[in-house]
Amino acid sequence: MSTESVAFCNSCVNQVMLCIPGSKPDCGVFREFQSETEMPLEKAKPIETAAVVTNTGIMNRLHGQIIDIDRGQIMTRITFKVGDNFISSIMPTEDFLQSGKKLGDAANIAIKSFNVKLMV
């Protein structure tokens, strides 16, 4: 492993390593999304209204229907049908129960990822 600065994603169970912006451009992710010159980070701006949420960063939003719920003691897997496609998500069971969602309900899905590949 090189000497670049790294941080651990606090929201991931697997503790994915991420580059810290401003570190040396030895990091492939940093080099891919930033130029050779380091750019300062901007401060986050508050959302004006909760009714309209804009896409910030690399995020895709989908609207689908819940077609399967696999509830465990700690985590729950929810499967959605989006058009002719299916997508699954996991979340803590307690959070899922608090959401009040059930089989057949419509739901919005947000996907944020560093690495999306086109399959050819």
> Fold for domain 59-112?
OB fold (Dihydrolipoamide Acetyltransferase, E2P) (2.40.50)
pLDDT, position 114? 73
The pLDDT score that the predictor gives to residue 90 is 93
Alpha-carbon torsion (10, 16, 17, 22), positive or negative = negative
**Tokens 């939003």 correspond to what residue?**
61
Residue 44 confidence (pLDDT): 57
- Per run of 10 residues, the mean pLDDT along the chain (length 120 residues) is 44 44 48 49 56 60 92 94 91 93 91 78
The predicted pLDDT at position 115 comes to 74
The full set of domain ranges for the chain reads 1-39, 59-112
